[in-house]
Chains A and B, each alone.
Chain A
Amino acid sequence: QVQLQESGPRLVKTSETLSLTCTVSGGSITYYYWSWIRQSPGKELEWIGYVYYSDSPKYNPALQSRVTMSVDTSKNQFSLNLTSATAADTAVYYCARYSGNYFQHWGLGTLVTVSS
């Protein structure tokens, strides 16, 4: 059974880069697309983007100018970098496995707070 675990700083200063890593266990990261999704407090889900180990990532147009995703096959991990963070980026960030147009497996999520 595949499991995903988010990790990274819980507190990010305004204007700095928000960086998270998702560690995948129970299967190879090379077989699927992998995604980041966030949820601001009390709000709906917002897709950030997805990445495949041998293809160009695809990002939400609203965030595209600030987002970078990558895959590290040697560690079975994928990562998210979101530059120029503001309070509006405060959210629970989820990593998820994307397959057949749906998000089949999710991490538990990690709350990241952006503050000066």
Chain B
Amino acid sequence: EIVLTQSPGTLSLSPGERATLSCRASENIDTSLGWYQQRPGQAPRLLVYHASSRATGVPARFSGSGSGTDFILTISSLEPEDFAVYYCQHRGSWQTFGQGTKLEIK
């Protein structure tokens, strides 16, 4: 079973700052990784798939990178609506999600 570990658990930043979120896989998963955003009281939303491809309608300030075991989601300049919880996900033998990173306003 592949385990996804996200860091940090909580990230405190101000609007306009750059956010860097990490997801580490316990084994090599090539680029088979997705990122999701979950705002309070809402369903998750797919942001990035195949590690670096933005989903339809996702603003360009969101970018994903990485391959193998280490992946990064970068938000270049935080907007107020970006403060949310972010999850990474991988399709292995079964679906696995990371434990999430909460991005909060500093």
Contacts and interface: CB of A to CB of B under 8 A. Distances in A.
Contacts of A59: 94
Contacts of B98: 44
B95 A104 contact: no
A13 B46 CA distance: 33
B45 A106 contact: yes
B95 A44 contact: no
Main SS of the interface on chain B?
A: strand
Given A44-B99, A44-B100, A45-B87, A103 B46 contact: yes
A103 B89 contact: yes
Given A44-B87, A103-B89, A60 B94 contact: yes
Contacts of A94: 43-44
A33 to B, nearest CB: 11
Interface residues of A, number: 21
Interface string A82-116: 00000000000010000011111011110000000
Contacts, number: 50
Interface in B60-100: 87, 89, 91, 94-100
A46 B87 CA distance: 11
Given A44-B99, A107-B43, A108-B43, A100 B87 contact: no
Contact of B89 (A50, A58, A61, A102): A102
A47 interface: yes
Contacts of B34: 101-103
Nearest to B85: A44
Contacts of B55: 104
Contacts of A45: 36, 44, 87, 89, 97, 100
Nearest to B55: A104
Interface of B: 32, 34, 36, 42-46, 49, 55, 87, 89, 91, 94-100
